[in-house]
Amino acid sequence: MSKTEQVRKVAFLGLGVMGYPMAGHLVKAGHDVTVYNRTQAKAQKWAEQYGARWAATPAQAAKDCDIVFACVGEDKDLREVVLGENGALAGMKPGAVFVDHTTDSADIAREMGKLFAERGMAFLDAPVSGGQAGAENGVLTVMVGGDEKVFEDAADVIAAYACSVTRVGDAGCGQLAKMVNQICIAGVVQGLSEAVAFGLNAGLDMKLVLPVLEKGAAGSWQMKARGATMVDNEFDFGFAVDWMRKDLGIALAEAKRNGSVLPLTAVVDQFYGDVQRLGGSRFDTSSLITRLPRPTSKK
């Protein structure tokens, strides 16, 4: 999808490791951007860096905007920036679109979809995959739930920081697709952790072996992007274990509702709990390998 040339007035709520660069890409694409962040100093820093504006409340940021984006922590954080006299909903104009990039529950996506429709506005749940690097490089994968016409209008703007923007169904389906994504990642990272630990314990030079495996059936994004850092015992970057556990908790709760059985996901979630107890709450998800016996690091 090509980057849009149509200038839109937009707001971006939440300047974490994902939102900060995503909002920057909107400026670079030529859009008129105002940001809000709970910590005002960060919003001021962003505005100075990108030559754009910041606002003291979500309502002020959303005023007169065509599209309001959000990328916050979880369900309660989304409610906080949307609802109340200072929430985005209070400042948005009729016909405006709210795009939620938070990874949260399908229930809140459906709830927000109904709420915005009652106010003459639209809501898209649009969680992302690709991590901090994907956000910084503008190559995120975005899975979207919501009305098809609304999606078509917003997709070109989202493309400012994405390499793939796809509607996967109605409200809530974007979040469900993200749950599928996280279930896949959990299994792949655990398998990779066991494989790397096994290879190290067997005396293999895993930095030699992994590039070979990447070209075969075992190859994956996780192997290519995280294999070498797992060998080096480096985890101070990437997608935090705390956030992965939050995401897996959402998926496991949804599984109970829809009758799915996720034995591997449930076990890996507990393994991430072990990593948290070992002090790795902010480590990258590839830190699952820290649970496994390996030769003493040579670093």
Give the model's pLDDT for residue 290.
98
Residues 157 and 182 in one domain: no
Give the separation between CA 154 and CA 159, rounded to whole angstroms.
Answer: 9
Residues 149 and 59 in one domain: yes
- pTM here is 0.93
Q: What is the mean predicted confidence (pLDDT) over 166-180?
A: 98
Looking from the CA of 299 toward its CB, the CA atoms found within 13 Å total 8
Q: Which single residue is written with the structure tokens 């493309």? A: 159
Structural domains counted in the chain = 2
Question: Is 178 one of the annotated active-site residues of the chain?
Answer: yes
Give the model's pLDDT for residue 2.
43
Residues 132 and 224 in one domain: no
Percentage of the chain modeled with pLDDT above 70? 97
Give the model's pLDDT for residue 297.
54
Q: What is the mean predicted confidence (pLDDT) over 122-149?
A: 97
Residues 191 and 111 in one domain: no
* Sign of the C-alpha dihedral computed for residues 257, 260, 266 and 269 taken in this order: negative
Element (H, E) at 192: helix 173-201
CATH number reported for the structural domain that contains residue 141 in this entry:
3.40.50.720
Instruction: Tell me whether residue 104 is in a domain.
Output: yes
Instruction: Tell me whether residue 297 is in a domain.
Output: no
Q: What is the mean predicted confidence (pLDDT) over 123-146?
A: 97
pLDDT band at 299 (very low <50, low <70, confident <90, very high): very low
- Reply yes or no on whether the pLDDT at 122 is more than 60: yes
pLDDT band at 4 (very low <50, low <70, confident <90, very high): very low
Residues 245 and 158 in one domain: no
Q: What is the mean predicted confidence (pLDDT) over 231-241?
A: 95
Give the separation between CA 252 and CA 81, rounded to whole angstroms.
Answer: 26
Instruction: Tell me whether residue 67 is in a domain.
Output: yes
> Which among 170, 189, 219 is the end of a domain?
170
Q: Which of 114, 178, 207, 299 is catalytic?
A: 178
Residues 163 and 263 in one domain: no
pLDDT band at 3 (very low <50, low <70, confident <90, very high): very low
CATH number reported for the structural domain that contains residue 220 in this entry:
1.10.1040.10
Other C-beta atoms closer than 10 Å to the C-beta of 147 total 17
> Which among 170, 203, 219 is the end of a domain?
170
Which range is least confidently modeled, 2-6, 38-42, 199-203, 291-295?
2-6
pLDDT band at 6 (very low <50, low <70, confident <90, very high): confident
Instruction: Tell me whether residue 244 is in a domain.
Output: yes
Q: pLDDT tens digits, residue range 55-100?
A: 999 999 999 999 999 999 999 999 999 999 999 999 999 999 999 9
Please give the mean pLDDT across all residues of the chain.
96
Q: What is the mean predicted confidence (pLDDT) over 198-214?
A: 98
Residues 165 and 182 in one domain: no
Residues 183 and 166 in one domain: no
> Which among 139, 170, 201 is the end of a domain?
170
Domain boundaries, position 262: 177-291
Residues 162 and 41 in one domain: yes
Residues 252 and 155 in one domain: no
